[in-house]
Structure 1
């Protein structure tokens, strides 16, 4: 590791595995704790756990091996983090800033159900990125503010190390999107399958480099 690398945070971002809502594209946010992983989701996160356990060895041998594990407080991310903890030997620290977007009144609804009740609003919410979901929800820009704060604090605490962050589709997209200086309305262009991994490096001056985005777990 070079002198410059000792100041860089490597963040390996792991999306949770499949839940009963995932195949249907329902808006599953942070407004409720659940749902849990499906049987397939459990197999997916086992594959993701094996992958991230190899960081610094078989995978990305030039990076430090993971030495910390952070997870969103949601049930699905805690279950995913438990599999990662078992594979890596790391303990899980929970940070609410990694939680999924709060979808407000859209929580648990299918896209067609949202469009029927709020015609046109879902499309604007996606493409604008600055508008909050109805009923006390968040905008994608809101999510980006808290995940940027999370990464800044992690870099200060874990400079020169690799941290695993178990999170969600919107929260991971926000970290990738802000790293590329993309507007919030464009963050939906990232495809992040269940239990996929993405890798960022955060430098002391805030410059953030994307090493990978949405790598599948192999299940």
Structure 2
């Protein structure tokens, strides 16, 4: 078998499926490569705020999930029919060790961290796709204006309905599908771009 290569993206004319992507494309630690409705969707590496939120949320959320005998992974391949999702956060009913992908039927919760440039995907498109796939819970972390908010939704009659939400400076506390609490402010580094710029300007003014 020839080595897997992303060159196949320019050569393949057939509609893409999750199985084709897993068979033909190499694993990578860069941009996410997903399959939606027969098309390849490539998402660039996320910004630093988004990656920080993913890191700071991932560990405590994983510890809480394990207490409920659930398993949390970040950016895992999730197969739903011919679609291939790579959510920021996936909570599963079974451990995924040794597997390249998990079936959506094993998913309890999928989470997305929404930055300014991905608002339409994280707020509109992806929740609808997860609802259509039957994912019981959807978690959204919104990083707009560097004021993190967290919201949890439950699938009811094919649509996500809000269960709980909180903004930075308050406590986000969920009870389902497992107990977990955090202040969204903990998901962001202490100093933002505005404070960095102010410090730089002050230093420059002092030298003048």
- With normalisation by structure 2, the TM-score equals 0.32
Q: Report which of the two structures shows the higher radius of gyration computed on alpha carbons.
A: 2
- With normalisation by structure 1, the TM-score equals 0.31
**Between Structure 1 and Structure 2, which shows a larger proportion of strand residues?**
2
Question: Which fold has the larger relative contact order, with Cα–Cα distance below 8 Å and residues 6 or more apart in sequence?
Answer: 1
**Between Structure 1 and Structure 2, which shows a larger proportion of helix residues?**
1
